[in-house]
Amino acid sequence: MRVPLVTLGLDPGTQGAAAFRMQDVKGGVTWTVIPFRGKHPSAVVAAIMAVMNDTPVDIAAIEEPTPWPGQSKHAAFSLGCSYGRLEALMFVTKTATINIRPVTWQRQLRCLSKGNKQVCLETAHHLACGHDWTKETADAGLLATYAYLYIVGKLDEPEYAMAQIERRNE
């Protein structure tokens, strides 16, 4: 059975994650989250493909790599490679994609972190309910939520996602 709306958040990097947000016809949301830490890049791609084979994605949001002050060349290169692999995967699977800078999606979801992962973690617990988020997976969950809000035309209202959840629980 096809889930009505599936969005995917991709946070590239060795400590990133992929988060699939699957919304059913009654408004219930389930999550499939794939953390990247400790996984070979080919294993990450295979894990994402395995989920996508069972659950076609309507739209994906990929965080664009941005350099950090003091970041090593190797770390920047690894981040860029991870981003490129994820972008290529979305191209090959013909998945509609939003490439977005961190400051843009964080501003729209009202969680400007300025590098503080705790800010995004707290926002994920409010906007992306239904999963036990960690500092490594929260960004991917928020990116999937961003893609959801984008596709339903409610990007200016991040509280819309929370209101949907509250209404379902009444």
Q: What is the pTM of this model?
A: 0.82
Domain boundaries, the chain: 5-169
CATH topology of domain 5-169: Nucleotidyltransferase; domain 5 (3.30.420)
Report DSSP state, residue 131.
S
Read off the pLDDT of residues 15-69 as tens digits, 9 standing for 90 and up: 889 999 998 777 788 899 999 988 888 899 999 999 999 888 999 999 887 766 6
Using CA atoms, how far residue 162 sits from 13, 59, 88, 145, 157, in Å, is: 28, 20, 32, 10, 10
Read off the pLDDT of residues 79-101 as tens digits, 9 standing for 90 and up: 677 778 888 889 998 999 998 88
